[in-house]
Structure 1
Amino acid sequence: MIDPYESALDAIPGAHPYPRSSRYHDAEIGIHVQPDGTEVRYTKRRLLPPIDQDGDPGDTAPHTVGGGERPDHLGQRYFGDPAQWWQIADANPVLDPRELTAEPGQEIEIPLAPGGGLAGYRHG
């Protein structure tokens, strides 16, 4: 459950370094102190979640890539937000998100929402 006060903070510039919908929202923020004492904040590496090698259907659902699809199209279709393509990229073993839709007919995995349904799935 999302804390309503924390949600309100998302609307205040500078309250969170990244909005809740960003793949970096939960990334740790580091501080580098330069020789002159100036502090520089940076986002530490975001480690990807491990990909389930046994194909557990409880975590993802298959999607067959159609001609002309792009990662942002899939983000809109399955999550209602084209910027959420990164959730699909995280669920598949790709280095470049364009690999997700490079070959029409290939099957990729779409992460499921908690409870087993497709998060925000929208037809069409």
Structure 2
Amino acid sequence: MFEPTSRYQGLPTATWTSPEGRIVTYVRRRFLPQPDELALVGEQVVRPGDRLDRIAARQYGDPEQAWRIADANRAMWPADVVEVPGRRLRITLPFGLPGPSGGAGPQ
């Protein structure tokens, strides 16, 4: 249903039946991982005029991976992550993937 690189890949689905009997399938809620549970692979300093999708393109080769940077930096509003030039952003692997040292994140 979702691309392998989607933040929704692998989430369970559920169904809801409307009062009229229509069945609606939906993806269950995605809970954000704790940033310290994500394997750190680097940092990126925000430059003036940076956008999260551009940083994701530089770091991951895919602007649609901006959600990974938002997750790693506790961003409720992704635009807030790049608001202040000079901020150091965590660049991580998706939840569950071990880091370069073999661990799931910083110990």
TM-score band by shorter chain is 0.7 to 0.9
SS across alignment from 2:9: coil
Tell me, in whole angstroms, the C-alpha distance in 2 between the residues paired with 1:89 and 1:26: 19
Gaps of 5+ in 1: 1-15, 118-124
Shift of 1:51: 2.1
Gaps of 5+ in 2: 102-107
Question: Structure 2 counterpart of 1:85, which letter?
Answer: A
**Partner of residue 104, structure 2:** none
**Partner of residue 58, structure 2:** 77
Share of identical aligned residues, percent?
35
The CA RMSD over aligned residues, in Å, is 2.1
Query: Aligned pairs, how many?
Result: 97
Q: Is the 8 A contact 2:47 2:86 kept in 1?
A: yes
Correspondence for 2:4 among 20, 26, 41: 20
Higher RCO (CA < 8 A, seq sep 6+): 2
Tell me, in whole angstroms, the C-alpha distance in 2 between the residues paired with 1:114 and 1:77: 21
Correspondence for 2:89 among 108, 112, 115: 108
Tell me, in whole angstroms, the C-alpha distance in 1 between the residues paired with 2:55 and 2:29: 25
Q: Compute the TM-score of the two structures, normalised by the length of structure 1.
A: 0.69
Tell me, in whole angstroms, the C-alpha distance in 2 between the residues paired with 1:111 and 1:87: 7
Q: Compute the TM-score of the two structures, normalised by the length of structure 2.
A: 0.79
